Amino acid sequence: MPEIVVFDPTVPAPQEDSDGARSLAARKSDLSGKTIGFLWNTKGNADVYLDEIAHLLGKKHPGIVPLMFEKKSASMAMEPEVYAALLECDAVVNAFGD
């Protein structure tokens, strides 16, 4: 049976393992003036959550540029143009709802 690795975002990022497993992305110390992508998977209330996160980040980090994106379906991969736009962002917040 394949091993499933679960990352807890509340703890420091683990170092790369000897088997080449990747660690979590480095955290940015300041988001002020950065472009932040927000990806909604179209499930209920995730958009409300993302709007609130964008609002709170804007208060804490003045000048952020929030860009909102949505997938056409929660059960499908995001469209290539959405993926390309997210790659241009300094950070991305993804949310799932129900």
Band of pLDDT at residue 43, cut at 50, 70 and 90: confident
33: left (phi over 0), alpha (psi -120 to 50) or beta: left
Range 28-52 average pLDDT:
91
Return all residues near 42 (Cβ < 8 A) that are at least 6 apart: 70, 71, 72, 73, 74
Asked if residues 55 and 62 have their Cβ atoms less than 8 Å apart, the reply is no
Range 19-27 average pLDDT:
67
The dihedral through the CA atoms of 44, 45, 49, 52 has a sign that is positive
CA 64/CA 57 separation, integer angstroms:
8
Q: Per-domain residue ranges for the chain?
A: 35-80
| pLDDT tens, residue by residue, 46-75 | 889 999 999 999 999 999 999 999 988 888
